[in-house]
Amino acid sequence: MTFEQKHLDQFYKIAGSYIDSLNHSDTLVRPKATSAELNEIFKFNIGSNLKEPNEIIDDLKKYLDFSTKTGHKNFYNQMFARSNLPALLGELTSVINNASAYTFEVAPVATLMELALIKKMSSLCGFENGGGQFVTGGSNANMVAMLCARNSLVKNSKELGLSNSKPLRVFVSEHSHYSFIKGVNVIGVGMDNLIRIPCDQLGKMKVELLEKEIIKSLAEDTIPFFVAGTSGTTVLNAFDPLEEIAAIANNYSLWFHVDGACGGSSLLSNKHKHLLDGVSLADSVTWDPHKMMSIPLICSVLLTKSSDALLKSNSSKHTEYLFHDDEEINIGESSLQCGRRADSLKLWTSWSYYGDAGYEKRIDRLFELAEHTRSYIEKSIVFDQTYVTSGITVCFQYIPDGITNADKINEFNRSLRVKMVDEGKTLINYSELDNNLFFRIAFLNPDISIDDVDETLQGLEMLGANLLKN
């Protein structure tokens, strides 16, 4: 049987109900089901038994039913959350059109939107004639930034590889994202050549140690070529002192990268953009609009100070079957991808709807929600801030009355998190640092209310009290 209008109408209804359900407290964020149970429900054997259209529609409903609801108002678990509606509509349109954003010929509008957004974002970074591109994720952006740096600073490495080179060194803070570790593996630098600089109590890179490590690397006859400051680390949401790092990068002729995958969006806020002071000195910037700008996954951008950095680093010969000698620009030439989803439309619709002013409010709101949470934690008799944060994450433990042993506190918080996941009403992640195990609540959805947050925290207090009773 083939699909008919009634099946599509059914699908539209299911999609609508799903989106509505994300604001209801009685919708579980995470329906409990083990892989064994899901295997039973879905029967993942593929190819042998055909399904009718109505069965496919049923499967899609089941998929939504049993999926973790990342758009739920009580989802605080990852560094992304609910997609905003204009962005969601943009993404759905992009899927329906199915353009590959490599040539103007097959993706004319997406090409121009991408160029316009890159221009806008790069000017927010203070780049006068910047370039850049949508990439496949923040991890990819960081890797490509290191590749640009390597190809720019290590002579002929694009053509000859690294076998003739001395060992290369990359410098990041110890709180930086693991994508740098994966990235130095990929580009042939090697994981042992990633130097992770210690951070202060707030999670910011100790820049005096950066210089020491660079000098040490030079003494070891290696080539320091890349340093990244992180704007908004994953756990503490700390912002490295970019100006100081830039000065050192400049002194030692290193490529200076800013990983603003999370915090880059703070540039939209007059109140918070100072956190990225110095970003204009960067050679490249990672910025994921799918995080604080609430765009559906994936929406990641790598910006470069030099407009042709990506083309220089990534272009190759023998692409003429795809990239003809056209009058219009083919943005795929500077990309490592061949087929490329058009990730620009969703950001464009969203930005068109909210405008700079609306986005400023949304970004500020995320900080406010976190700030409110910090004061809630301060007042709470059971919660304790494990680390001082000032960004959009809050790190705290539940301290059971009378327990002072750190391991026992950790164990209790681990059990409490398990309980929370089991219950499924709300989802807050946990992290481990310096032998502390603590909740890390992340604010990426500006459309929730203070009441929503209070309800979540009260719920966690009650859950903890119940856990103590049993």
Is the separation of the CB atoms in 256 and 281 below 8 Å? yes
Pick one of 97, 250, 449, 466: the residue that binds its own copies (CB under 8 A): 97
3 binds its own copies (CB under 8 A): yes
User: What's the burial of 449, exposed, middle or buried (CB within 10 Å: 0-12/13-18/19+)?
Assistant: exposed
Quote the distance between the C-alpha of residue 277 and its chain's center. 21
Quote the least distance from Cβ 307 to its own copies, whole Å: 17
16 binds its own copies (CB under 8 A): yes
User: What's the burial of 309, exposed, middle or buried (CB within 10 Å: 0-12/13-18/19+)?
Assistant: buried
- Using CB under 8 A, which of the segments 207-215, 273-281, 331-339, 405-413 binds its own copies? 331-339
Q: Give the span between the Cα atoms of 317 and 415, in whole angstroms.
A: 56
153 binds its own copies (CB under 8 A): no
Pick one of 23, 68, 306, 385: the residue that binds its own copies (CB under 8 A): 68
Footprint of its own copies on 195-214 (CB under 8 A): none
Pattern 230-249, its own copies, x by CB under 8 A: ----xx--------------
Footprint of its own copies on 345-384 (CB under 8 A): 345, 348-349, 351-359
166 binds its own copies (CB under 8 A): yes
Is the separation of the CB atoms in 264 and 127 below 8 Å? no
- Smaller CB distance to its own copies: residue 62 or 408? 62
Longest dimension (CA), the chain: 74
Footprint of its own copies on 440-459 (CB under 8 A): 440
Quote the least distance from Cβ 391 to its own copies, whole Å: 15
67 binds its own copies (CB under 8 A): yes
Pattern 279-318, its own copies, x by CB under 8 A: ---------x-x-----xxx-x------------xx-xxx
Pick one of 76, 80, 367, 443: the residue that binds its own copies (CB under 8 A): 80
Is the separation of the CB atoms in 400 and 415 below 8 Å? no
49 binds its own copies (CB under 8 A): yes
Q: Return the ∠ at Cα 387 (arms to 385 and 390), rounded to 5°.
A: 95
Smallest Cα–Cα separation from 143: which of 174, 178, 173?
Answer: 178
270 binds its own copies (CB under 8 A): no
320 binds its own copies (CB under 8 A): yes
